[in-house]
Structure 1
Amino acid sequence: MLIDLTHKFTAQMPVYPGDNPSELQQVNFVEQGGIAHFHIATGMHVGTHIDAPMHMLEGGKKISDYPLEHFFGRGCLIDARGKDKIDVDLLDGIELQSDDIVLILTGHDKKFRAPDYFDAFPMLTEAFAEKLVNDGVKIVALDTPSPDGEPFSIHKILLERDVLIIENGTNFDRLIDQKNFEVTALPVNFEAEASLVRLVARY
């Protein structure tokens, strides 16, 4: 079974406050010129996307610097629904393994197109981020806009140790009863600080 954990990219996408709006527009039509053709103009941090170290660290790696192997792995779901902050107590009884891809379920994705989506959402504590780093996790995926706010200390803790960050995931609740699943998080091979990503689970 394949589960799509990616928001559909449409002509009207929510964007982080202060970012430029994205565009997805059909510019050619079969009935007019024999072909259909869409134009896209977007920042990398729109919809479901993945951050590389360059996003926060001077001289940090770009998405294109990572081998394909970095984007496949054993999945581990952390149920953080109803929590204001995501702290280490949520890891009690959970055995993380090196190279895991951790999904954090908050349920905030249900507000993705609501006006207040970016206003308030659960964030990671530094202790939680340090635990992921120390256990060798390679990607952490969120169904929220970000693991933190300014000054973005959680971003830096994770990215300094090559733990990539996926933001604006969805449908994590469809994995709540799955103990064994794999995750694929394939970005476009952009020479850039981040990429749109297709995030998929399989069990």
Structure 2
Amino acid sequence: MSKIVDLTHTFKENMPVYPGDTPPELYQTRDLAKNGYTYFQLNSGMHVGTHIDAPLHMIADGQRIDSVSPEKFIGRGVIVDARGVKIITADLFKEKIIKAGDIVLVFTGFSDKYDDPHYFTDFPVIDENFAKKMVELGIKMLGTDTPSPDKEPYNVHKILLGHNVLIIENLTNLGELLEINDFEVIALPVKIDAEAALARVIARYEN
């Protein structure tokens, strides 16, 4: 029997956003009792909550998220335990078997601070050699339970997206996968003509 782990933060009013980004607006415009149906309106940027970055986010003439093949969003998952580490290096996955087409998830435990203002300023980052190794290995996507894999000047973003490795940001519940040796990641973004998209991300394994 399959077990599902939801790796997605709930999108809601007053959710935290990256400093400088416009907070999303999620509000009800129709009421079932008054109007005969319920209707919610959403005004939001693409980099709020759990989302996927496509190459256009950092690469001139890069792919938009709607043009990425759906095959890219599903793959074998590999988790890298990076708890307690401020700079995440390639040494952390030397014991892992990472294959072309895998989706690598970096578990820092930082999603526990999601509602803390420090979540967007003090998060651990991935170094450039880690990103280059991911490109060399041919992975599909790299996900992290932080707001970003790096900080300005965003070289890790540019390395990954420049080689069509998509980036999943603001994941949660990665700790539930630490003891799971074989799992699949399904990370489905909204099909939108943009540089990124809100996404529902799950992991699935046989219980």
- 1:26-45 mapped onto 2 (5 Å cutoff): 26-45=28-47
Which of the numbers 31, 48, 51 marks the counterpart of 1:49?
Answer: 51
1:89, CA displacement in angstroms?
0.7
AA aligned to 2:19 is P
Distance in 1 between residues matched to 2:151 and 2:44, nearest whole Å: 22
AA aligned to 1:201 is A
Runs of 4+ in 1 over 2 A off after TM superposition: none
AA aligned to 2:175 is D
TM-score by length of 2: 0.97
Question: Does residue 125 of structure 1 match 2:113?
Answer: no
Distance in 1 between residues matched to 2:86 and 2:119, nearest whole Å: 15
Which of the numbers 86, 97, 108 marks the counterpart of 2:99?
Answer: 97
- 1:108-119 mapped onto 2 (5 Å cutoff): 108-119=110-121
Question: Does residue 190 of structure 1 match 2:192?
Answer: yes
Distance in 2 between residues matched to 1:3 and 1:172, nearest whole Å: 9
AA aligned to 1:141 is G
Deviations 1:114-133 (A, max 9, x none): 12210111100001000000
The residue aligned with 1:169 is 171
1:33, CA displacement in angstroms?
1.2
TM-score by length of 1: 0.99
Distance in 1 between residues matched to 2:31 and 2:13, nearest whole Å: 16
AA aligned to 2:149 is P
Task: State how many pairs are aligned.
Answer: 203
The residue aligned with 1:106 is 108
Deviations 1:144-203 (A, max 9, x none): 000111111000000010000000000000001000000000001111100001110000
For residue 197 of structure 1, give the secondary structure of its aligned residue in structure 2. strand
For residue 77 of structure 2, give the secondary structure of its aligned residue in structure 1. strand
Deviations 1:53-81 (A, max 9, x none): 10011111000111110100000000000
Distance in 2 between residues matched to 1:115 and 1:155, nearest whole Å: 23
Deviations 1:27-63 (A, max 9, x none): 1101111111000000000000000010011111000
AA aligned to 1:104 is V
1:137, CA displacement in angstroms?
0.6
Question: Does residue 11 of structure 1 match 2:17?
Answer: no
Unmatched 5+ stretches in structure 1:
none
Distance in 1 between residues matched to 2:142 and 2:10, nearest whole Å: 20
Distance in 2 between residues matched to 1:21 and 1:172, nearest whole Å: 25
Unmatched 5+ stretches in structure 2:
none
The residue aligned with 1:159 is 161
1:10, CA displacement in angstroms?
0.7
Deviations 1:61-109 (A, max 9, x none): 0001111101000000000001011101101211110000000000000
